[in-house]
Structure 1
Amino acid sequence: MATAGLTAGLLALAGLALWSSISAQTTTAHVRELNETSERWSRVLEHINIADNALRDLQLKRTEQTIEPLRNSIGAARGELEWLRVNGDVSDVAVATRLLPLYDTTTDTLRKVLAGEDPAQADQAGFAHSSLRRQISSTIGAKRLDTTDYLRAADEKNSSLRFAQIVAFVLDAFLVGLFGMVLLGHRRKILRQAAKNEHEAHHDALTGLANRTLLARRMEQAVTKAHKKHEPLALLIVDLDRFKEVNDSLGHHVGDLLLRQVANRLSWAVRDTDLVARLGGDEFAVLLPGVGSADNARMVADKILTALAMPVTLEGLELEIAGSVGVALCPTDSLDGHELLRHADIAMYAAKRDKSGVAVYDARLHERGASQLTAVTELRHAIDRGELFLHYQPKALADTGAVCGVEALARWQHPTRGLVRPDEFIPVAEENGLIEPLTRYVIDAALRQCRVWSDAGWEVPVSVNVGAACLLHTEFPGDVADLIKRHGLPARLLTLEITESAIISDPDRAVEVLRGLTELGVRLSIDDFGTGYSSISYLRSMRVHEMKLDRSFVTHMCTDAGDSAIVHALVALARNFGLQAVAEGVEDQDTWTALAEAGCDVVQGYFLSEPLPAEEVVAWLGDRAAAHA
């Protein structure tokens, strides 16, 4: 609006100026015309006066000196009258047209007087001059009045134009001021937006902390300063433990509230000169310039962990959180900011893996981290390429010794490292999001082999361990149903073994997933029972079919009274809940006998058989059946 108003005002002012200029030009031209016609009439009057004066001189004395002026003045005004008759305005044309005949008559009379033909006509010529003089003088006076009236009217018009110009100028000045205010307002708005954009570009939207970009910039400056002034700095990477469980169980809104609380606690735990940044998700970084030593950096890390350990109350819920901190030092570990960040990250993962809380980087951690990254990539390729295979460990009824199924155990035949043990690659799968595809791979392979045995006349139920992450996805029962349908087997031949920790991480969702599996007809087993926290409370709400006693209690039950008491109590608990008790880790006949006497239903272990390749299971089953008979 200010721009439009200023434009209109400037156009109006320019139009008024142009109008004034045109008006002034028109007035000047008209006045020039009036002046020229007045000048013409004045010259006519002058010529008549000269002729009249010469006539009087001739009347007084007729000499050559008096004759010559009269001769020169005769007809001198006719040209001016003729111009006025042709070029003058209406009044000029009318007067000139009326006076020309009289002037011509007077001219003829003067010629006769000059020729001396009739001296008496001189008086007649004088009378004609008087008449001409009066009319011309009257015309000149009228012209002057017209000029005066015209100039007065032009002056009034110009006064109006000047007033309009003053008004337009004042209005334009106001609009210029308004336009300037608008421009200044927009400039301030643009500067505020630029500052906001600058802040948003370098700060995390959720927590208000510095982001990765600002951290990289500050770290580059701090590394340069540390190198020049020999002032060591430390970079800490802080990662929350079990944050995903908070997000999955309580929702992302509560997770966001928790991240804000963590950001505040990190800011409180460090100095004003330190920089706290959020790298993404639940991972934070703390830049400590001038930290002095690794011990000082570890003290700050411990202070951060102490701050994080304080309970957090969010929307009426009290949560306990913990974290892992990795520490890297400059220039000890690196003089490059990006490399320092990578080293701190490696140290953080080492702290998380070892559950030590804080870890300071050294080269051995780097090598271990690199090997773990390589193992993750190789395991993913192994799953995709089918490099994994299964061994099967038989299970038998404790009272009769009859084989009642097998447990599928994954093995990895690495192209260069040879056979990789499960305790080496299973944790890698669990920590790096590969446990779900690995579980589906094992279930598929086990059911395929079960189909082969069934076609050969052996109905062998198979048990498969299920990764904890699978119980957090409600689509898992559908995936299992698809695999059972694909291989054309009854669901009762498949037993899925789940751990207590998998249930505890998100009980509601785990119960929902387990309910879906039970509705398929799949058998469920709680693996490693007794090593968790609160499985007994879930036995009432879940339709579990068997309870698997952990080998740590079974192996020494014949020599350790405590383990024996635990085994008897767990077997009794299973019977009270109507569950089948399965004992793993049976290594000798005495243990088997003790389990059978305690009422255990199924035994499994090296005393019965070690895990066998699939092609050896049928032969083993035949031999076992013959021996049992």
Structure 2
Amino acid sequence: MRDWLRRRAVARTAVVALTVGLALLAAMAVVSSQTSSRAADIAAATQLTSQQWNEIYLKISIEYELLEDYLESPDQADRQPLLSSIGSAEPNLRWLLANGGEADARQAMALQNAYGGYTWTLRNLIDAASADDRPGTLKFAEQAALSASGLRRQASVNVARNNLSIGVVLRDAKRDTARQLIAVKVLSAADLLLVILCGLVLLTYQKRTERQAADNDYRASHDGLTGLANRRLLTERVTRAIADADRGGPGVGLLLLDLNRFKEVNDTLGHHSGDLLLMEVARRLRGATRPADLVARLGGDEFAVLLADVEELADAGTVAQRLLIELCGPAELGGLTVDISGSIGYSYYPAPSSSAEELLQHADVAMYHAKRNHLGVAGYEVENDTNSFEQLTLLADLRTGIDRGELELHYQPKIGLPGRSVAGLEALVRWRHPIRGLLGPQAFVPEAEQSDLMLNLTEAVLDMALGQQRAWREAGRDVPVAVNVGAACLRDSAFPARVGELIRRHDAVAGRLTLEITESFFIIDPDAAAAALSVLREQGVRISIDDFGVGYSSMSYLQSMPLDELKIDRKFTAEILTTDRGRAIAGAIIDLAHALDLTVVAEGIEDEQTLTAIVDMGCEQAQGYLMCRPLPPDGIPAWMDSWSVPALS
């Protein structure tokens, strides 16, 4: 053991010494390089300065030669070259004043003053010669000759001075380089001796390897973006927690979280903003959990929380509710406010989950159930797990169903107020699944919104709605129709053109078509929304903002968006008669819409009292079960014929 320790000490000493030697050698190389570079820079700068002085000498000489030519024959032909040359050395003098060294700047300033007098003399000489003033011409010619001689002498002196400086710099650099070369040779010899002793550096390498292995193990068990545990570490901890529970320890709770509309943020604002959102979610989850709990990111926008010391399933539900409250809320992403929300599913071991695999699977089923039904939080229940295989194949079936024409449209009327005339019909999609029967939109639209099927689905609904509108129009019932449009459609720059093509195909009037856009898209990507909606509005299509009031900060976009209509969400109309707050909010929304010249539609009207209340508030249209539930197309004419009876009673 003592011999091993000694070898280890020798190796470390050798490594330190070699490191110092190499560092000194590198420093010498850097110093040598910097010395040479500095000398070269100084020489180049001095050479450039010398060149400026040389050009000054030449330009003054040229000016004087042109002066002599002009004095020999003072006609217009020789006058113009002399006039053009006067002051030609000024740019060189200004350069020296701005870029030359202290001595050159001082000399340039002195010469500039003299040069100014010289140019003044030349101009006076030309004026005297032009006026046939022979005495004046001779006087100025003598002054010019003396000035030119003095200026050239000053310029040549500065050229010589700078050339001498270059020689001194190069000589000093050569001397310094020779000294540095000797030092480099000495250090190289010492380093060569130290290299021989570095065979034992393998011990240091081994230590570094062990450290790297630990780092790699951390990376393998943690998410690189958020620093949270990853799926591998979560699985290990779940297995360990279940083993502890089997030995008499507390039960195991598992929460699975999936963010809402994360794909829209990622696609609209870019992956950088998506990463910022994920990091903010991780921060909130860490802050809302105990140190003993394990927070993990499973991939994408899916997170998990392993709960320690959970006694029963309800305890996991309580934690899930608290966690969702802490998670939800607006977040700043690059100056844009984005709403964070999600769905949480939870499960518990030992019942109903009986293994680690079931615990994870059950939490996933519960999370999907919460997301699909907009519950926020849901615990695992056996009855919610019956269609897991069907859900797995849902999107593939939907793609095929669209191609096969399995979609159906039901229509819910809107009435105008206060006269209660039929103001339009909203198209609501249904899917006649060959095995599962007639499915409402909540069964398949959320999945379509998370995939590339939303475009195909929306275009199919538009095609069917415009076709049905044409059939009604040909039967003498010209009624406006409204169609819901997903955010994915508005992010597609070609979507407005396809809408225009469908309008032309069905010989429809653009103003009789309304596209209803959910408020969340205005918040997530206002620029894309404004661009797409502007094109649609130019075609004459009406634009409605649906479910108004559900998201954050939507009012700030109302003024800038090209809108025609605003639909008050049913959660507000339901409270008009029951709470003062509900009536105040609905009234404020109606007043705001009227101030912006928007038509207001109140959704969720289910009784005469609520209808009367919104009429008193000035609402223009109403929609709800009081008037009519969604009907298939063949039921609409009969309803329209019968609606006048209750409307006038």
TM-score range for the pair, normalised by the shorter chain length: 0.5 to 0.7
The reply on whether 1:329 has 2:366 as its aligned counterpart is no
Distance 1:622 1:232, change over 3 A: closer
Residue of structure 2 in register with 1:449 after alignment: 468
**How far off is 1:218 after superposition?**
3.8
Aligned length: 455
**How far off is 1:470 after superposition?**
3.9
Residue of structure 2 in register with 1:217 after alignment: 236
Looking at structure 2, the residues matched to 192 and 582 of structure 1 have their Cα atoms a distance apart, in angstroms, of 65
Map 1:374-523; keep pairs closer than 5 Å: 379=398, 381-392=400-411, 405-422=424-441, 436-452=455-471, 460-468=479-487, 470-471=489-490, 474-487=493-506, 489-523=508-542
Looking at structure 1, the residues matched to 207 and 605 of structure 2 have their Cα atoms a distance apart, in angstroms, of 80
Cα displacement string for residues 414-439 of structure 1 (whole angstroms, at most 9, x for unaligned residues): 43554444566556656788655432
Percent identity between the two aligned chains: 51
SS of the residue corresponding to residue 206 of structure 1 reads coil
Looking at structure 1, the residues matched to 312 and 463 of structure 2 have their Cα atoms a distance apart, in angstroms, of 54
**How far off is 1:406 after superposition?**
3.9
Residue of structure 1 in register with 2:271 after alignment: 252
Map 1:100-499; keep pairs closer than 5 Å: 177=196, 180=199, 193-228=212-247, 232-240=251-259, 243-244=262-263, 247=266, 251-264=270-283, 266-267=285-286, 274-288=293-307, 291=310, 293-294=312-313, 297=316, 301=320, 304=323, 308=327, 321=340, 324-352=343-371, 358-367=377-386, 379=398, 381-392=400-411, 405-422=424-441, 436-452=455-471, 460-468=479-487, 470-471=489-490, 474-487=493-506, 489-499=508-518
Looking at structure 2, the residues matched to 332 and 590 of structure 1 have their Cα atoms a distance apart, in angstroms, of 48
Check whether the contact 2:521–2:529 (CA below 8 A) recurs between aligned residues: yes
Distance 1:473 1:233, change over 3 A: same
Distance 1:500 1:310, change over 3 A: closer
What amino acid sits opposite 2:357 in the alignment?
H
TM-score, structure 1 length as denominator? 0.55
**How far off is 1:236 after superposition?**
3.0
Looking at structure 2, the residues matched to 552 and 266 of structure 1 have their Cα atoms a distance apart, in angstroms, of 29
Deviates more, 1:593-602 or 1:348-357: 593-602
Cα displacement string for residues 487-546 of structure 1 (whole angstroms, at most 9, x for unaligned residues): 454533422123444434443433333223212321112345577776655442222233
Looking at structure 2, the residues matched to 296 and 208 of structure 1 have their Cα atoms a distance apart, in angstroms, of 27
**How far off is 1:357 after superposition?**
5.7
Looking at structure 2, the residues matched to 377 and 544 of structure 1 have their Cα atoms a distance apart, in angstroms, of 35
TM-score, structure 2 length as denominator? 0.54
Check whether the contact 2:530–2:562 (CA below 8 A) recurs between aligned residues: no
SS of the residue corresponding to residue 515 of structure 1 reads helix
Check whether the contact 2:339–2:551 (CA below 8 A) recurs between aligned residues: no
Check whether the contact 1:471–1:503 (CA below 8 A) recurs between aligned residues: no
Distance 1:311 1:533, change over 3 A: closer
What amino acid sits opposite 1:339 in the alignment?
E
SS of the residue corresponding to residue 334 of structure 1 reads coil
What amino acid sits opposite 1:236 in the alignment?
L
**How far off is 1:585 after superposition?**
7.1
Looking at structure 1, the residues matched to 577 and 288 of structure 2 have their Cα atoms a distance apart, in angstroms, of 53
SS of the residue corresponding to residue 223 of structure 1 reads helix
Looking at structure 1, the residues matched to 353 and 545 of structure 2 have their Cα atoms a distance apart, in angstroms, of 48
Distance 1:503 1:227, change over 3 A: same
SS of the residue corresponding to residue 413 of structure 1 reads strand
Unaligned ranges ≥5, structure 1: 1-170
Check whether the contact 2:546–2:567 (CA below 8 A) recurs between aligned residues: yes
In angstroms, what is the RMSD of aligned CA positions? 5.3
Distance 1:475 1:401, change over 3 A: same
Residue of structure 2 in register with 1:128 after alignment: none
What amino acid sits opposite 1:227 in the alignment?
D
What amino acid sits opposite 2:536 in the alignment?
L
Distance 1:231 1:518, change over 3 A: same
Distance 1:529 1:346, change over 3 A: closer
What amino acid sits opposite 1:442 in the alignment?
V
Distance 1:563 1:346, change over 3 A: closer
**How far off is 1:442 after superposition?**
0.7
Unaligned ranges ≥5, structure 2: 1-189, 645-649
SS of the residue corresponding to residue 353 of structure 2 reads coil
What amino acid sits opposite 1:407 in the alignment?
E
Looking at structure 1, the residues matched to 219 and 496 of structure 2 have their Cα atoms a distance apart, in angstroms, of 43
Check whether the contact 2:412–2:426 (CA below 8 A) recurs between aligned residues: yes
Distance 1:425 1:320, change over 3 A: closer
